[in-house]
Amino acid sequence: MAPTVPLSVLPLVALVALVAPALGVAPDCDRPAHLWCRSPETAVACQVESRCPDLPHPAAAPVQLSLFYESLCPACRQFLVQALFPTWLQLPTGMLNITLVPYGNAQERNVSGKWDFDCQHGPEECLGNMIEACLMHEAKDFSTYFPLIFCLESGTSVTKNLEACLQVYAPDLDRSRIAACVQGDTGMALMHQNAQLTEALDPPHQYVPWIVINGKHTDELQAQAENSLLGLICHLYQGEKPKACGGSKTLKTLPGCRR
Ligand SMILES: *[C@@H]1O[C@H](CO)[C@@H](O)[C@H](O)[C@H]1NC(C)=O
Ligand SMILES: *[C@@H]1O[C@H](CO)[C@@H](O)[C@H](O)[C@H]1NC(C)=O
């Protein structure tokens, strides 16, 4: 005779019935069913994540930061070199997601079907923007191209140190592809994309660096990001705070480059 099922076990029975078809394809699930919802790892291994309402939160979403800048603006260089790069280095991966948009106060014109760019600090700035856009495109991986861009922006010349920076930070990147991008249609298309991203800002940018955090720009966020980026990111991050959030310094900032 089959034993009667005590009422208290019913939800568990229901759970087993729900996931039974998945059992055959969960080879890493080596825990008894009553432990499946106890940790995120086990829930994943046993393929029951969506059925465990009280699961401790997996890693929180990263804080999203977009930097609209131009390669030769002193305040942009200062923010990137003295605030953004060190903050990124200090924080664990997955806490801060950075998007770099080199273009800033540039203007684009359609000259008989080709894009032509005018940059606030002249042709050298356009070249710097283009080099950085192409490095992002060719390197793809943020942790490869950000140190390269940091290297260019922190040196005496943004445009003349590419080879030296590549040797130190990304010796394997293909020089000929980068050069082809900078001088060709790919670079033009990337710069046009940056122009469109910049023109789409809401509110429109009034100066650069223009910082957008989790999709928002306000004077207050901008001031906080410039004065203590680490403190701001730590404050906004919803997950468990890492050690680096313990103490944070403030920075005396240069005035931005107005349009
Ligand atoms: C990081 O930002 C990019 C946009 O620049 C977005 O496509 C990507 O999904 C974001 N990644 C995470 C993990 O939030
Ligand atoms: C750029 O100008 C050419 C003519 O000079 C025109 O055919 C083309 O549609 C224009 N492109 C855009 C995106 O405005």
Closest C-alpha among 74, 120, 67 to residue 97: 67
Question: What mean pLDDT comes out for the span 184-195?
Answer: 98
Helix (H) or strand (E) holding 3: none
Q: By residue range, what is the domain housing residue 126?
A: 63-258
Percent of the chain scoring above 90 in pLDDT = 73
CA distances from 19 to 30, 53, 98 (A): 14, 15, 39
28 and 68 fall within a common domain? no
For residue 55, what pLDDT is reported?
A: 59
Number of structural domains, the chain?
Answer: 2
Is 202 within a domain?
yes
CB 107 within 8 A of CB 248: no
190 and 243 fall within a common domain? yes
For residue 30, what pLDDT is reported?
A: 82
Burial zone of 134 (CB within 10 Å; 0-12 exposed, 13-18 middle, 19+ buried) = buried
Is 149 within a domain?
yes
Ligand closest to CA 100: 1
For residue 246, what pLDDT is reported?
A: 87
Is 58 within a domain?
no
Helix (H) or strand (E) holding 146: helix 142-154
Mean pLDDT of the chain: 88
Q: Give SS3 for 95.
A: coil
213 C-alpha to ligand 1 centroid (Å): 12
Ligand closest to CA 109: 2
Helix (H) or strand (E) holding 67: strand 63-69
Closest C-alpha among 222, 207, 208, 75 to residue 153: 75
Q: Give SS3 for 117.
A: strand
Identify the DSSP state of 243. Answer: G
226 and 178 fall within a common domain? yes
96 C-alpha to ligand 1 centroid (Å): 10
Please provide residue 14's backbone torsions phi and psi, each rounded to the nearest 5 degrees.
Answer: -60, -40
79 and 198 fall within a common domain? yes
233 C-alpha to ligand 2 centroid (Å): 42
152 and 226 fall within a common domain? yes
Q: Which of 108, 109, 110 to probe ligand 2 with, by most ligand atoms within 8 A of CB? A: 110
Is 1 within a domain?
no
Q: What is the CATH classification number for the domain harbouring 68? A: 3.40.30.10
99 C-alpha to ligand 1 centroid (Å): 8
pLDDT in tens, 11-68: 443 443 444 444 454 778 887 787 787 666 777 788 887 776 665 556 799 999 999 9
pLDDT in tens, 191-209: 999 999 999 999 999 999 9
pLDDT at 10 exceeding the cut of 70: no
95 and 218 fall within a common domain? yes
Q: Six-digit token pair at 27? A: 């080879």
Specify which residues 258 forms β-bridges with.
207
SS (H, E, C) 168-200: HHCCCCCHHHHHHHHHCHHHHHHHHHHHHHHHC
Q: How confident is the model at residue 254 (pLDDT cuts 50, 70, 90)?
A: confident
Q: Give SS3 for 9.
A: helix
Q: Ligand 2: residues within 6 Å at CB? A: 110, 112-113
Question: What mean pLDDT comes out for the span 229-245?
Answer: 95
Residue closest by Cα to atom 4 of ligand 1: 99
Q: Six-digit token pair at 41? A: 């790892």
For residue 169, what pLDDT is reported?
A: 97
Q: Ligand 1: residues within 6 Å at CB? A: 62, 64, 97, 99
43 and 69 fall within a common domain? no
229 and 158 fall within a common domain? yes
For residue 120, what pLDDT is reported?
A: 98
